[in-house]
């Protein structure tokens, strides 16, 4: 951390800041220039708040040099994390994994119809919400356990892994036998108790960026899971809330290369929630792949106009198949392959 003192700072004020830094375990290097004193504080601590120093008398500005996270940072595993699944699929290497399926599992017919078309088109992971975080308490809330069973069955029948959203701690043990990847939704990105519990399990967790979360906050939420001992964390950009109203959210494509630089964790893009509009999903999926995404999460429905949730952003099966073809063309251009 660098603490720049004001030109008018007195010796007494400078001494007080140094004492404070030393008390917190930093070793301090003092440089006195012609006008200003600069304090360089070095130490192993990451859990400090720069504002603690900003408010001390005589301080002009404070800059954090080290990242506030340890385990999710790129330096922890410079080569990058690759997650290996039991069926040979890998996530985070040169393969790009496409996860697709309906927003919600609505019925056996619906899930199996969608699962069949997406697996034929090349999806390797089947998505489908069993527990739905809906803005309105009167909207469809998901089929719960029944949906989990259907997901497992469809996944096995069509040779796909299964991902589904966990909303609270009590659902974890219920979901464990049925799913391969736990999804933490945007609304739960900072549900720290849930993240801690997911740190104790042995299955990958896909953590979505909150609707108003900075990338640092996303990474710190990933740190909660890793700190518990679960190193199989997958991050996901799914659009953030901005002043723009044309799209449901603003898909922050730049989050992909930024996270890839700051962290070793695989990064996913969800252009369905990122745009909220079916006609904008394919362009954003193509852009995400080109920007370095390790996986894509895409909503598909065989009859989106009747979908119980997120129909407007769900691709028709033929749109999804076309997108897969396009992704297969783009992948080699950026040194990746679609499996
Ligand atoms: C979903 O994947 O259907 C979902 C609810 O996503 P998010 O948490 O990104 O809104
Ligand atoms: Mn959805």
d(CA 151, CA 180): 10
Token duo for residue 14 = 């400078």
Give 299 Cα–ligand 1 centroid separation in angstroms. 10
What ligand 1 atom has the least distance to the C-alpha of 132? 5
What ligand 1 atom has the least distance to the C-alpha of 238? 9
Mean predicted confidence (pLDDT) in 175-181: 98
DSSP string, 38-98: EEEEE-S-----THHHHTSTTEEEEE--S-S-SSSBGGGSTT---EE-TTS-EESSSEEEE
The CATH number of 83-338, from 3.20.20.70, 3.40.50.300, 3.40.50.2300, 3.40.50.150, is 3.20.20.70
**Sign of the C-alpha dihedral, residues 113, 114, 119, 124?**
negative
CATH number of 2-66: 3.30.70.1140
d(CA 297, CA 162): 12
Q: What was the pLDDT predicted at 46?
A: 78
Does the pLDDT of residue 44 top 80, yes or no? no
* Cα angle, residue 120 at apex, residues 118 and 122 outer, rounded to 5°: 70
Helix (H, G, I), strand (E, B) or coil at 278: helix
pLDDT tens-digit readout, 186-210: 999 999 999 999 999 999 999 999 9
Helices (H), 177-248: 192-198, 215-227
What ligand 1 atom has the least distance to the C-alpha of 208? 9
Mutating to test ligand 1, I would choose from 99, 103, 182 the residue with most ligand atoms within 8 A of its C-beta, which is: 103
Rg over alpha carbons for the chain, rounded to the nearest Å, is 23
Give 328 Cα–ligand 1 centroid separation in angstroms. 25
What ligand 1 atom has the least distance to the C-alpha of 187? 8
Same fold, 2-66 and 83-338: no
The confidence band for 45, taking pLDDT boundaries of 50, 70 and 90, is confident
Token duo for residue 71 = 């385990």
Give 184 Cα–ligand 2 centroid separation in angstroms. 12
The confidence band for 57, taking pLDDT boundaries of 50, 70 and 90, is very high
Give 213 Cα–ligand 1 centroid separation in angstroms. 15
d(CA 117, CA 158): 10
pLDDT > 90: percent of the chain: 93
What ligand 1 atom has the least distance to the C-alpha of 310? 3
Helix (H, G, I), strand (E, B) or coil at 162: strand
User: With contact defined as beta carbons under 8 Å apart, do 6 and 58 qualify?
Assistant: yes
Give 261 Cα–ligand 2 centroid separation in angstroms. 28
d(CA 319, CA 315): 6
* N- to C-terminal Cα separation, the chain: 44
DSSP string, 91-147: ESSSEEEEEEE-SB---HHHHHHHHHHHHHHT--EEE-BSS---SSTTS----THHH
Q: Parse the chain into domains and list their residue ranges.
A: 2-66, 83-338
**Sign of the C-alpha dihedral, residues 147, 153, 157, 162?**
positive
Helix (H, G, I), strand (E, B) or coil at 264: coil
pLDDT tens-digit readout, 208-217: 999 999 999 9
Q: What was the pLDDT predicted at 43?
A: 81
Mutating to test ligand 1, I would choose from 182, 238, 252, 284 the residue with most ligand atoms within 8 A of its C-beta, which is: 238
pLDDT tens-digit readout, 64-116: 988 889 899 999 999 999 999 999 999 999 999 999 999 999 999 999 999 99
pLDDT tens-digit readout, 133-142: 999 999 999 9
CA-closest residue to ligand 1 atom 1: 103
User: Does this model's pTM top 0.95?
Assistant: no
Lining ligand 1 with CB less than 6 A are 103, 129, 133, 185-187, 208, 238, 273
Q: Which of 19-28, 43-52, 294-303 has the lowest mean pLDDT?
A: 43-52
């Amino acid at each position: 951390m660098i603490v720049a003192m004001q030109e008018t700072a007195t010796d007494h004020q400078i001494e007080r800041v140094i004492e404070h830094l030393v008390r917190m375990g930093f070793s301090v290097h003092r440089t006195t220039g012609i006008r200003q004193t600069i304090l360089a504080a070095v130490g192993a601590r990451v859990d400090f708040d720069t504002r603690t120093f900003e408010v001390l008398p005589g301080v002009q500005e404070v800059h954090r040099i080290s990242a506030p996270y340890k385990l999710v940072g790129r330096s922890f595993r410079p080569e990058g994390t690759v997650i290996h699944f039991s069926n040979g699929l890998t996530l985070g290497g040169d393969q790009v994994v496409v996860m697709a399926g309906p927003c919600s599992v609505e019925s056996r017919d619906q899930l199996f119809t969608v699962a069949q078309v997406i697996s034929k088109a090349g999806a390797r992971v089947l998505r489908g919400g069993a527990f739905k975080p809906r803005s309105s308490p009167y909207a469809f809330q998901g089929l719960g356990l029944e949906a989990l069973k259907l997901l497992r069955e469809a996944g096995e029948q069509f040779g796909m892994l299964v991902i589904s959203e966990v909303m609270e701690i009590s659902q974890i043990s219920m979901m464990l036998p049925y799913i391969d990847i736990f999804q933490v939704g945007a609304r739960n990105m900072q549900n720290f108790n849930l993240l801690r519990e997911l740190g104790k399990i042995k299955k990958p967790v896909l953590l979505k960026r909150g609707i108003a979360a900075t990338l640092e906050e996303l990474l710190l939420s990933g740190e909660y899971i890793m700190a518990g001992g679960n190193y199989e964390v997958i991050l996901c950009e799914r659009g953030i809330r901005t002043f723009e109203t044309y799209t449901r959210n603003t898909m922050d494509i730049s989050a992909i290369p930024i996270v890839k630089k700051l962290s070793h964790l695989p990064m996913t893009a969800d252009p369905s929630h990122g745009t909220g509009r079916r006609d904008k999903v394919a362009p954003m999926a193509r852009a995400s792949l080109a920007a370095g995404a390790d996986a894509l999460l895409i909503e598909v429905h065989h009859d989106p106009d009747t979908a119980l949730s997120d129909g407007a952003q769900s691709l028709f099966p033929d749109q999804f198949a076309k997108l897969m073809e396009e992704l297969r063309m783009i992948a080699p251009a950026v040194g990746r392959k679609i499996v």
